Amino acid sequence: MNLEFTPEENAFRAEVRAFIEANHPKHLEGMGNREDMSPEDMTAWHKILGKKGWSAPAWPTEYGGTGWDSTQRYIWSEENARVGTFMPLPFGISMVAPVIYSFGNDEQKKRHLPGILSGDVWWCQGYSEPGAGSDLASLKTTAVRDGDHYVLNGQKTWTTLAQYADWGFFLCRTDPDAPKPQQGISFILVDMKTPGIEVKPIKLIDGGYEVNETWLTDVRVPVENLVGVENQGWTYAKFLLAHERSGIAGVARSKRGVEKLREIAANETLDGAPLMQDLDFARKVSQLEIDLAALEITELRTLAGEQAGKGPGPESSILKIKGTEIQQRLTELTLEAVGSYGTPMYGSITDAGSNEYPIGPDYAQHSAATYFNMRKTSIYGGSNEIQRNIITKMILGL
Ligand SMILES: Cc1cc2nc3c(=O)[nH]c(=O)nc-3n(C[C@H](O)[C@H](O)[C@H](O)COP(=O)(O)OP(=O)(O)OC[C@H]3O[C@@H](n4cnc5c(N)ncnc54)[C@H](O)[C@@H]3O)c2cc1C
């Protein structure tokens, strides 16, 4: 494994850095995953990248991918992390699109891929149900054929940002009598404006509105919105989950986060001295950096393997577990560093018309909300316990 970048790769880095500096909206720098971002803010960078042809680096070039190799994609994520861009949401670009271009028909590719690339069409994921999360195959939402339509009934939950979605991809049971629960599931694309769809907010502890309950009552969906073969949806669902998991490690963003944490801890004081000089705090930051360096090497090794033609395989579960644990520790330490400035809830202050002012330094304002929000990372994309089960079976062979 060669960890040095080649002159061509360094030139590529200079090119993407210059593009980001010239084109990324300055007011969005470092917004990260803020609970008060508007939908326009969330799609702004995606739309700029869409015009440049850089919104979907991992797609095959025939559908609009950049043709970058995995090292170039790694450099791309590092350069975006450097300024804290808000990357295209995963639901279109890295979840449903690979399913559509791999298993969809020509009509579906023509209809859906351009809007996903440009960032003009917002997608949501209708997989989980109140009784079907880790055990997704037990899902109960039904799609019953009625002439040239399916009629959908059921309840999905945790549907991220469905309040803005134009389209959703839903897993529905089309054969309730199939011998195994994994059989008899279909993958259906649904226009979110179809009558019978009700999206109800779930308020989160960080004060944000990110997830929803999605109720489906007699929702009529044209049969041509079925992807692939009826009752084979489980195959496409698993294919999509592998895409969802890759990328959750977020090494480049955590590296930038540690740099910021060091800046905060150099500014904050404990007993009159910079917090960074406190041995206990410094030890925790160093341990985090060591774990992050180990994760980075693991990710680079995976990339080197990909370059040599090996798929990411079950090691993506290691990246997911370690990456999300590090993200959570990073936000814990940031909250610890800002101390009591982290306690005010800023949801109402950022509302239009509020005349209150935030207390303390800028970096403290969203530290508690971010800390709470990041608890989700060990749950979504398949919980970390489930990833450990995968490692036990697929890597350790137990
Ligand atoms: C912020 C957020 C956003 C999400 N967005 C979406 C979305 O857009 N669309 C969507 O469809 N879903 C979404 N999800 C749902 C997510 O995929 C599920 O929460 C996740 O799969 C876990 O399912 P569950 O919540 O039903 O927990 P459960 O499956 O009920 O699990 C509860 C606990 O038991 C553990 N557990 C369960 N089974 C096992 C086992 N076999 N071995 C060991 N431990 C086990 C789990 O690890 C967990 O700790 C989101 C979740 C969150 C938190």
Nearest residue by C-alpha to atom 35 in ligand 1: 385
Q: What is the predicted pLDDT for the residue at 305?
A: 76
Q: Which residues pair with 157 in a beta bridge?
A: 213
Active-site entry in 79, 129, 210, 244: 244
C-beta 214 within 6 A of ligand 1: no
For the Cβ of 269 lying below 6 angstroms from any atom of ligand 1, the answer is no
**Residue (of 101, 108, 120) closest to 51 by Cα position:** 120
244 classed as catalytic:
yes
**18-22, 243-247, 393-397: least confident range:** 243-247
The DSSP letter of residue 232 is B
Specify the pLDDT at position 351. 56
Q: Which atom of ligand 1 is nearest to the CA of 136?
A: 21
Tokens representing 97?
A: 């699109």
Per-residue pLDDT of 288-301, as tens digits, reads 999 999 999 988 88
Range 214-229 average pLDDT: 98
Give the span between the Cα atoms of 269 and 275, in whole angstroms.
5
* pLDDT tens string 113-141: 999 999 999 999 999 999 999 999 999 99
Which of 33, 89, 124, 383 most suits a substitution to test ligand 1, by most atoms within 8 Å of the C-beta? Answer: 383
CA-161 nearest atom, ligand 1:
8
- From CA 288, how far away is CA 15, in angstroms rounded? 31
Q: Which residues in 351-384 are b (16+ Cβ under 10 Å) and which e?
A: eeeeeeeeeeeebbbbbbbbbbbbebbbebbbbb
Per-residue pLDDT tens digits for 364-376: 888 998 999 999 9
Write out pLDDT tens, residues 231-272.
999 999 988 877 666 667 889 999 999 999 999 999 999 999
Q: Whose CA is nearest to atom 16 of ligand 1?
A: 380
